[in-house]
Structure 1
Amino acid sequence: MRAVAMYGTLASLGSLVLTALVAAPAGSAESPALPALLTPPASAEARGTALAAKRAAAAGIAFGKCPAAEGLSSPAQCGKVKVPLDYAAPDGRQISLTVSRGKADGKGAGGKGAGGKGAGGKGAGGKGAKGKAVARQGALVFNPGGPGASGMYFPMVASMPEWKRISAAYDLVGYAPRGVGRSAPLSCQAPKDFAKAPTQSPSDPSVAYKRERVAQAKAYASGCARNAGDALRHYTSLNNARDLEVLRAALGQKKLTFMGASYGTYLGALYATLYPGHVRRMVFDSAVNPDPHQIWYRSNLDQSLAFETRWHDFRAWVAKHDKWYHLGKTPDAVLASYEKVRARLAHRPAGGKVGPGELQTAFLRAGYFDDYWALRATALTQYLKGNPKPLIEQAAPKPESAWDDENSNAVYTAVECNDAPWPTDWQVWNHDNTELARRAPFETWDNAWMNLPCAYWSAPRQVPLDVRTEPGALPPTLILAAERDAATPYKGALELQRRLEGSVLVTERNAGTHGIGGGENKCVNGYMETYLLTGRTPVRRAQCAPHPEPNPVSLDERAVARRPAPAV
């Protein structure tokens, strides 16, 4: 399951051996943390990255007006940076990554900082200097996750109150990682075929249905290999981290200030392991578990289990507001209403486009973000009253997004399949997911089908890097996590803190929104803002009270809801 963070307010704009085959851990030549006499010879990829970064630093990035295809308005600027397709052959084929930038205005927001009272006392935000200019601090590079998501929209958050003081100090830099958007785009099947609807989504699939999905997974893997050719093996998380190092150099930054969400936290952790001496500040929002044994098969099993808990949270909230929705006064009663809708859609898809598969995808988004809860509950209520329009509006595939959706899925699949070994015996998948589905039926099989092409992958598999840093190798880094996050379960944040020496964990208690930085919690935002602006952090861990639960809304109020559907 793709773990994509689309922040609360930010989303209104726009998923073994302890060393890697092609990169060495911290202290290696690619990450010089040890004395030279103790450093092993540099790998070809390390030498290629250093050469590419040197060239990028000399060339810089020629920022100018953004192409219409990016959908970004002034003052955002766009440019490109060249990186080697294969870092072991830096003089070989080059690909261009698209980059966006919003320049720091230096004005600040004035007034008080964003900090509020958290569970452990006052938030980290302090008083701002109203009317005074804010010192510029270089570039803040953002990756929204995926893998397969584009961060090109990031400069546009500068207009939001939660980002005002940060955007005054930093150039906000987004980019499309390799394979994504217009950065050497990857495709595995025709977009029109990827967007076919309606589809089924049985939580207890038959033997015949499983055979059908296995055949589809084999065909999809073959399509990736056919379309990308020899280039397919170069779409990896390690190469994404190397690309980030080249981007740092192209931006003229001696050290990187980076914010990663969801999968972006894994990318940031790889970078911190490979290049600890090049890290200035890092924010890890909704952390992926970086344990090599988790990447990526076990991580997806854990995710499916966590979504069952979050699915229950949603149903409990709907039951609490039964006077609005009339879907049931208990979570089980709400589930019965949902299953009634699913059964009807299996027999007669809404609008000819929304079947059980589209229904499940729409409600999975409610597992990511609780500001979908009122929208989804209203859609169920209206459907059962005979009005399918809200459900069709929320769940039907959008033809205009078919290309982006297919591209994003292709990159997700390529990166995760290339990154690590996966079971190649269908019986292993069948056993593990059958057992898990007894405990977590909501998401287990759909997650399995999404990742099953990795069982039939033709490109070489890497061995995940052992993410970890030595004491003193990194400056303080900041981890943000919600306790009930399903897309990146909380234990991943604990594991990341254990592996990154000197990191600090800020927890939003009893909350489950995926991607909390810059969102609705002022306490969380206070810690993030203070860290980015000053480098200060709590001692080791801090807690924030949860943001308020969503309120039930009427259809009229729902029409002005601010969050569009995220890429999940």
Structure 2
Amino acid sequence: MTQRTRILRNAALVGVTTALLAATAPVTASAATGGPPGTEPLSWTACEGATVDPRQQCATLQVPMDHSDPDSPRIDIAVSRIPAEDPDARRGALLLIAGGPGGSSLNDPSGKGQKLPQGVRDTHDLIGFAPRGLAPSTPVSCGLEYGDLATSKLRPWPAPDGSVDGNMATARRMADACTRNGGELIKHLSTANEARDIDRIRAALGERKISAWGVSYGTYVGAVYSQLFPHRTDRIVLDSVDNPDPDRVNRAWLAGHEQGVEDTFPHFAAWASRPGNPDRLARRAADVRPMLLRLAARLDREPIPWPGANPEELNGDVLRQALLDGLYRPSRYPALAELIRAARQGTVPPAPQAPPEDVLQNVAGVGAGTLCNDVAWPDSQAVYEKGVAESRATYPLTAGMPRNAMLCASWPYPPREAPVRITDHGPSNVLLVQNERDVATPLTGALKMRDALGRRAVMVTVDSTGHDAYLANGNACGDRVVSRFLATGNRPGSDVYCR
């Protein structure tokens, strides 16, 4: 898949491809692990998939759909592992928690897990899983109209004049589809329930404690797990960190994009104006922003047909969404620049290849259920109109989208419990790692997680650009600090800045 193909994909689409085979002999879990009654040990088998490391094993764990009801129907959670490479040095299990909501880490033991230093791979089983609702775990779907699967609809943009009338109507249509098609399971998708599923995974693995590496939304999952089950945690790394604001939760993450774009855009503008860059867009960095704003406004008035894309036109909102997606990491800059150059000339590149519709439907259903169940969203159009107007005035590059009404504005189910409040109560075993320039999880939100955890955490701030810091878009200094903590437990005595 080319970089161009990735621009318009929802960042939540992460590795939902591995299926499970028949069960083999079980591994016995000790009752001393503190597992809930009825937690069975896992039966491991080989995994399907051409990209899966042959050492990776797969299993299925049954958990309650409703953790508060012991008689609740059971749902499947797909789990994977690559065992520690040095059995004599084995310490325990390292759970890889994907972003999203709607991301899977099921293939991560074979993928990003293999980037971990040998000292971590020797001492830890690498564990992945597909969260509740996400295939090949028991799946959920809203059965949305195909046009509503576009990223610019899932992250809705206001009309060019700032109106949210159309967004409110779209929210009602999409929420109605989730009500009709989501079944009972969609009511039980939440971060707290994912954390409870993780504790079932820990117990089924036979582990008294578990370590974790959570990325993006996975940092909130990891923080909630550490809050609900503090004494079941060993070494916890939260990478590219979400704002844990208990009053807004997911609304704060969406709103964070406006600051994230502002933090990251100057880096892109400097790159896009650099002499000798074959993808250069302007002679000066200061010229890139007004050029993009003019281009988006022109596309609002005069969209360019884009056969095969969703939607089938390059309009101002699709360009703005492409900008946001293109700022996730510097390796995406050339494809973003190519799209901008084409649009300025009145043309488009080849349409991006979308994942299969059933995958899009599944990921959208998990995202909707989790985002809308975690916290109550306002249902008043006036609230969104006010927020959009303020955001458009201050952050023109994101044109009000981060404070707009998504389908949660019409969600029919009230939250089943209050959001988990992250506090400083618990062991001091958390390491945060955060890039200074991160479009999706900006530094401002990460600092709020740092404040909430207090003495429990130490934070590594990395002078780098991009989403996903550790072993991806950070720097060697930050990688060394995190690797040392995972391999040895040695954590800095205070916060660190990695230039």
TM-score of the pair, normalised by structure 1: 0.74
- Return the letter of the residue paired with 2:332: Y
1:392-417 CA-partner distances (Å, limit 9, x unpaired): 3xxx3434343323322221221121
Q: Is contact 1:422-1:455 (8 Å) kept?
A: yes
**Separation in structure 2 between the aligned mates of residue 464 and residue 431 of structure 1, nearest angstrom:** 25
Unaligned runs of 5+ in 2: 1-8, 19-32
Identify if the C-alpha distance between structure 1 residues 466 and 317 changes in structure 2 by more than 3 Å, giving closer, same or farther. same
Structure 1 residues 513-528: aligned runs within 5 Å = 513-520=466-473, 521-528=475-482
Q: Deviations over 1:197-253 (max 9, x none)?
A: 99898766347x632221111011111111123333211111111111111111111
Distance 1:387 1:192, change over 3 A: closer
1:77 to 47, 50, 57: 57
Cα gap change, 1:434 to 1:94, in 2 (>3 Å): same
Partner of 1:422: 377
* Cα distance change, pair 201–261 in 1 and its aligned pair in 2 (3 A): closer
Supply the distance in 2 between the matched residues of 1:388 and 1:411 (Cα, whole angstroms).
31
Q: Distance in 1 between matches of 2:10 and 2:214?
A: 12
In structure 2, the residue matched to 1:112 is none
Q: CA deviation at 1:157?
A: 2.8
Give distance in 1, aligned partners of 2:332 and 2:137. 31
1:62-461 superposed matches below 5 A: 62-68=43-49, 72-106=52-86, 135-157=89-111, 160-190=114-144, 192-195=146-149, 205-206=160-161, 210-321=164-275, 324-339=278-293, 342=296, 343=298, 346-351=302-307, 353=309, 354-356=313-315, 357-381=317-341, 384=344, 388-389=348-349, 392=350, 396-448=351-403, 452-461=406-415
Q: Return the alpha-carbon distance in structure 1 between the equivalents of residues 185 and 206 of structure 2.
A: 29
Secondary structure class of the residue paired with 2:278: helix
- Using the TM superposition, name which of 188-197 and 209-218 deviates more: 188-197
Task: Map Cα deviations across residues 370-397 of structure 1 (whole Å, 9 max, x no partner).
Answer: 22113322443356568743xx3xxx34
If the length of structure 2 is used for normalisation, what is the TM-score? 0.84
Q: CA deviation at 1:321?
A: 4.0
Classify the secondary structure of the residue corresponding to 1:364: helix
Q: Quote the offset at 1:326 in angstroms.
A: 4.2
How far 1:308 sits from its partner (Å)? 2.9
**8 Å contact from structure 1 (residues 158, 164) kept in 2:** no
> In the alignment, what sits opposite 1:484?
437
CA RMSD in angstroms comes to 3.2
Shift of residue 502, structure 1, vs aligned partner? 2.9
Output the CA distance in 2 between the equivalents of 1:231 and 1:430.
Answer: 32
Following superposition, the deviation at residue 137 of structure 1 comes to 2.0
SS of 1:400's equivalent? coil
The residue type paired with residue 499 of structure 1 is: A
Aligned to 1:479, the other structure's residue is in SS state strand
Question: 1:436: how far off?
Answer: 0.8
Structure 1 residue 497 displacement after superposition: 2.5
Report the residue type matching 1:223 in the other structure: A
CA contact 1:307–1:442 (8 Å) conserved in 2? yes
Q: Deviations over 1:443-484 (max 9, x none)?
A: 2543445x52111111122321221133xx314221101122
- The whole-number CA distance in structure 2 between the counterparts of 1:542 and 1:387 is 47
The alpha-carbon distance between structure 1 residues 542 and 4, as it changes in their structure 2 partners (threshold 3 A), is farther
Q: Distance in 2 between matches of 1:384 and 1:256?
A: 52
> Match for 2:48: what amino acid?
P
Which secondary structure does the structure 1 equivalent of 2:470 belong to? Answer: coil
* Match in the other structure for 1:53: 36
Q: Is the 8 A contact 1:51 1:90 kept in 2?
A: no
Per the alignment, do residues 65 and 194 of structure 1 end up closer, same or farther by CA in structure 2, a change over 3 Å counting?
farther
- Whether the aligned pair in 2 keeps the contact of 1:52 and 1:90 (CA below 8 Å) is no
CA gap of 1:463–1:479, structure 2 versus 1, over 3 A, is: same
Question: Aligned partners of 1:231, 1:61: CA distance in 2, in Å?
Answer: 23
Determine helix, strand or coil for the equivalent of 1:482: strand
Give the AA of the match of 1:348. I
Deviation per CA, 1:70-91, whole angstroms, max 9, x where unpaired?
9634222211111100011122
Q: Give the secondary structure class of the aligned counterpart of 1:303.
A: helix
5+ residue gaps in structure 1? Answer: 15-49, 107-132, 546-568
CA distance in 1, matches of 2:479, 2:73: 42
SS at match of 2:469: coil
Q: Which amino acid aligns with 2:422?
A: V
Inter-CA distance 168–204: structure 2 relative to 1 (3 Å threshold): same
Q: Give distance in 2, aligned partners of 1:164 and 1:481.
A: 23
Q: Distance in 2 between matches of 1:197 and 1:498?
A: 32
Q: Is the 8 A contact 2:387 2:403 kept in 1?
A: no
Instruction: Classify the secondary structure of the residue corresponding to 1:146.
Output: coil
- The one of 494, 502, 526 aligned to 2:456: 502
Q: Distance in 1 between matches of 2:184 and 2:323?
A: 37
Distance 1:437 1:382 in 2: 26
- CA separation of 1:454/1:539 partners in 2, compared to 1, >3 Å: closer, same or farther? same
Cα distance change of structure 1 residues 237 and 158 upon mapping to structure 2, 3 Å threshold: closer
Distance apart, 1:189 and its partner CA: 2.5
* C-alpha distance in structure 2 between counterparts of 1:228 and 1:72, whole Å: 30
Does the aligned pair in 1 maintain the 2:235–2:489 contact within 8 Å? yes
Q: Distance in 2 between matches of 1:64 and 1:323?
A: 49
Can you list the C-alpha shifts for 1:80-121, whole angstroms capped at 9, x where unaligned? 111100011122200001112122222xxxxxxxxxxxxxxx
1:160 Cα deviation after fit: 4.6
**Equivalent pair of 1:272/1:469 in contact (CA under 8 Å):** no
State how far apart, in whole Å, the 2-side matches of 1:289 and 1:475 are.
Answer: 19
* 1:324 alignment partner, SS class: coil
Cα-to-partner distance string for 1:277-307 (whole Å, 9 max, x where unaligned): 1111100111112131341324432332332
CA distance 1:158–1:227, change in 2 (3 Å): closer
In structure 2, C-alpha distance between the alignment counterparts of 1:317 and 1:406, rounded to whole Å: 36
* More off after superposition, 364-373 vs 437-446: 437-446
Change (3 A) 1:226 1:5: closer
Could you say if the C-alpha distance between residues 54 and 526 of structure 1 is closer, same or farther in structure 2, counting changes exceeding 3 Å?
Answer: farther
Over the matched positions of the two proteins, sequence identity in percent amounts to 27
Question: Aligned pair in 2 of structure 1 residues 474, 51: CA closer, same or farther (>3 Å)?
Answer: closer
- Partner SS, residue 156 of structure 1: coil
Q: Distance between the aligned counterparts of 2:88 and 2:479, measured in 1?
A: 18
The answer (yes or no) to whether the contact 1:203–1:445 under 8 Å persists in 2 is yes
Query: Quick check: 1:305–1:436 contact (8 Å CA) kept in 2?
Result: no
* Number of equivalenced pairs: 466
Conserved? CA contact 2:391–2:403, under 8 Å: no
Instruction: Assess, with a 3 A threshold, how the Cα gap between structure 1 residues 347 and 150 changes in structure 2: closer, same or farther.
Output: same
Deviations along 1:127-152, whole A, 9 cap, x unmatched? Answer: xxxxxx98222211011211111111
Counterpart Cα distance in 1 of 2:10 and 2:66: 26
Question: Partners in 2 of 1:245 and 1:151 — Cα distance?
Answer: 16
Quick one: structure 1 residues 210 and 483, their matched pair in 2 at CA, closer, same or farther if it must change by over 3 Å?
same
Partner Cα distance (2:113, 2:239) in 1: 21
Structure 2 partner of 1:469 = 424
TM-superposed CA distance for 1:174, in Å, is 0.9
